[in-house]
Structure 1
Amino acid sequence: MNILFSINQKFISLTKLCISSMIRFDTDFTFYILHHDLSYESQREIIDSFPSQQFHFIFVTEESFSSFPVSNRYPLEIYYRLFASNLLPNTLDRVLYMDVDIVVINSLRNLYYTDFEDNAYCACTHVNEGLTKFNSRRLKIENTVPYINTGVLLMNLEKLRKIVNSTEILEFVNKNKNRMILFDQDVLTALYGNKTKILDYRLYNLSDRMLSLYNIKHPNEKIDIEWIRKNSVIIHYCGRNKPWKENYMGSLGIFYSELVQ
């Protein structure tokens, strides 16, 4: 299974933690890591921590993305995933991208081999119908296009090589930068949201916020930690509420705590 990360020097520890969580269930991984600042020592640290795994570090020049808006919360690396089909070897047909603020709690195999059904991506949405329509108006796209959470993306690289257009992406960013909120998610939703197969977030992109919202909306069908242990695969500590930070609030932190014990 091909796994993709896009990180900078600050995320070495989280990357190692994410990898540790997934190799508990599967071992046949090849990791591709897009970066612009990882030192040789940092690369060796990752490689030496997992001697049975294969790693490929792909350097990306900062100049290639100088036109993209960034912030403290959204660094340059968030955009690399948009161009993964151009940055990764042409021999790959699919890759699973994941943010590193993730803990895997079951095998990734079913997710990885999901049928694309001719879509460019398989991913989840974390917004309801009302917010979908709001984002559609904001981005000036059809209101039926789902707003994509880019923290977990199964990529159909063969299809993406045919449709990803760097000029189109840059033009969209420059035209819409003043109305963009979640930069890379806005781009991917606007340009490729209608080419994305939507998966069940409860299984493949579960956050504390989405768990709470689901249980509020389905009071007679609430899901608890035991249901999650049995059914969910990816716990995503997205946003600012993370169990390794002070003032964390949520029940899903148990999976992080169990991993670091």
Structure 2
Amino acid sequence: MDIVCSIDNNYVQHCCCMLVSFFENNKGEKHSIHLLSDALTLENQKVIKELVESYQGVFSYYSVDPDKLLSCPIKATDHLTIATYYRLLMVTLLPQELKKVLYLDCDIVVDGSLKEFWDTSLKGYALAAVDELNTSAKDVYERLEYDEKYGYFNAGVLLVNLEYWRSNNLTEVFFDYISSHYDKIRAHDQDVLNALLHDKCRHVSQKWNVEESFYHYYVIKEWRKRDEKEMKSVLLHPVILHYSWKPKPWEKSCRHPFRLKYFFYLSKVDAFSGCKLTFGEKLQAYCDEYYFKLVLRLGIRGHRFYKL
């Protein structure tokens, strides 16, 4: 598989955790990791390269020209950095012979094989992604000017048809849209991708991108009406677990029921093996996981598993 991720120097630990989780659950094949960044230090590049090669993977680093992102809206109060826009430049940076890639955010752990997802047909589609289950901003369809029947996908996990992106000059299209719709963009490149590719997205199972918001009761109660069996299976056994909102698992206030997954895989990264939870934090995390699984399996209704 060809995996693409984008980071700055602040996210090296989390990138390593994500990559270890991917390699641990996708053994037996040769994988290539394509890292997009602006001025990642040589030391940090070495840390990631050595990790990838320890799993017999191939590591490639691509330097992003920050001048190409000057028109992209980002605020000092945003929890994201300008690195979120790097994925819009994929086809201008990656080798021409690549036909598809799997883009993964670095606030993710992979807890199972991705082969089924990787083998998803993209014929006629620009990408495959997971719908956000109505957790996007309420004004998103009006603001981005398209019919809500198409849904709104999360851009943290994308199976990308690079051939489609190249043949339709999407990089140019993306940045033209940013220039002409600057004031409408709230969720950064995710808004751009949805505005332009909502009808060219193949929606796949939520198990391929189980967002933090999916564990909140206001989502669970609506999901349960549609397919309670699937909902329980996905939430209890996520293949890709996406810590998509704050607090992140490495932050003390995190109460995500699967916070421990992050530290399980992080412990396998030699460079960061010393980053551990205290006994009290670990005990709390175990209790949160047990309690969540219990109330979900018992079908207790009206309970807020935890709050944003």
Taking a change above 3 Å as real, the CA distance of residues 49 and 155 of structure 1, as seen in their structure-2 partners, is same
Partner of 2:31: 29
Query: Displacement, 1:103?
Result: 0.4
1:258 counterpart = 2:264 = yes
Taking a change above 3 Å as real, the CA distance of residues 151 and 4 of structure 1, as seen in their structure-2 partners, is same
| Greater gyration radius | 2
Aligned mate of 1:162, from 161, 167, 175: 167
Helix, strand or coil: the match of 1:254? helix
Taking a change above 3 Å as real, the CA distance of residues 209 and 133 of structure 1, as seen in their structure-2 partners, is closer
Aligned mate of 2:67, from 60, 63, 66: 63
1:238 counterpart = 2:244 = yes
Aligned mate of 2:93, from 87, 99, 102: 87
| 2-structure distance, mates of 1:37, 1:164 | 26
User: Structure 1 stretches of 5 or more lacking a match?
Assistant: none
Aligned-residue identity in percent: 26
CA deviation digits over 1:50-76, x for unaligned, max 9?
A: 322210000111011111112342322
1:116 counterpart = 2:122 = yes
Aligned mate of 1:99, from 105, 108, 128: 105
Contact 1:103 1:236 (C-alpha < 8 Å) held by counterparts: yes
Query: Displacement, 1:226?
Result: 9.2
Q: Higher helix proportion, which one?
A: 2
User: Structure 2 stretches of 5 or more lacking a match?
Assistant: 268-308
1:49 counterpart = 2:51 = yes
Contact 2:126 2:200 (C-alpha < 8 Å) held by counterparts: yes
Contact 2:212 2:245 (C-alpha < 8 Å) held by counterparts: no
- Which moved further from structure 2: 240-249 or 2-11? 240-249
Partner of 2:228: 221
Instruction: Give the TM-score taking structure 2 as reference length.
Output: 0.77
CA deviation digits over 1:67-109, x for unaligned, max 9?
A: 1112342322211212212211001011000000000000111
Taking a change above 3 Å as real, the CA distance of residues 139 and 41 of structure 1, as seen in their structure-2 partners, is same
CA deviation digits over 1:156-186, x for unaligned, max 9?
A: 1111111134443223212222222101111
Count matched residues. 257
